[in-house]
């Protein structure tokens, strides 16, 4: 599995905003991110959110971004609009639910699908929420401290 993009955001745009306008905090792309076991990504909005939180880190497949872009005829939305931390290539993330896995020396426990919500239709395009059902990404717990680096070279 390749890590194409690494994102964090210091504030929530959608989480906790139901019935209100979304926030405007950008997703900040980083060449590397620091992960802390049981807490999350240093500098991210979910860092130390609550004890044993199942979404300490989130993953999303670039393949799903490409499919959604084709299916909905959208060419002006980056994968950051989904507000997931790690954009991957080459791995069906649903296969990692309930599994321990390792990336660049950091161990994770895949917890659940990162289910799409109604905000996806606003952030990406109408129809995105429905199209992303069962393909919204992966929520995971971090099992050991470490650093992840983006790999856009394919190595």
Q: Is residue 10 part of a domain?
A: yes
Q: Give how many domains the chain has, as a whole number.
A: 1
Q: What is the pTM of this model?
A: 0.89
**Predicted local distance difference test score (pLDDT) of residue 33:** 98
pLDDT, residue 49, reads 87
Distance (Å, rounded) from C-alpha 30 to C-alpha 51? 26
Residues of the chain with pLDDT under 70: 11-25, 152-155
What integer pLDDT is reported at residue 109 of this predicted model? Answer: 98
On whether residue 33 sits in a domain, the answer given is yes
Domain assignment present for residue 154? The answer is no
- pLDDT recorded at residue 42: 97
The residues, any chain, with a CB within 8 Å of residue 23's CB and separated by 6 or more, are 11, 12, 13, 14, 17
Per the structure, the complete domain to which residue 141 belongs is given by 2-149
In a domain, 6, yes or no: yes
What's the pLDDT score for residue 11? Answer: 62
- Amino acid 139: pLDDT: 96
Predicted pLDDT at 69: 96
Write down the pLDDT at residue 17. Answer: 43
The CATH number of residue 13's host domain is 2.40.33.20
Question: Both tokens of residue 135?
Answer: 């393909």
What's residue 20's pLDDT?
56
Answer yes or no: is 155 within a domain.
no
């Amino acid at each position: 599995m390749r890590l194409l993009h690494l994102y964090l955001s210091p504030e929530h745009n959608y989480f906790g905003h139901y019935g209100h306008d979304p926030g405007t905090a950008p997703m900040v792309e980083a060449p590397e991110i620091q992960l802390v076991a049981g807490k999350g990504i240093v500098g991210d909005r979910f860092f130390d959110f609550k004890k044993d939180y199942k979404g300490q880190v989130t993953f999303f497949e670039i393949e799903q971004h490409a499919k959604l872009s084709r299916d909905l005829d959208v060419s002006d939305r980056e994968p950051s609009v989904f507000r997931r931390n790690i954009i991957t290539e080459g791995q069906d993330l649903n296969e990692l639910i309930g599994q321990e896995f390792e990336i660049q020396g950091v161990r994770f426990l895949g917890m659940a699908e990162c289910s799409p919500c109604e905000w996806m239709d606003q952030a990406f395009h109408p129809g995105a929420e429905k199209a992303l059902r069962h393909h919204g990404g992966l929520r995971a717990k971090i099992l050991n401290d470490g650093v992840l680096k983006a790999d856009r070279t394919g190595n």
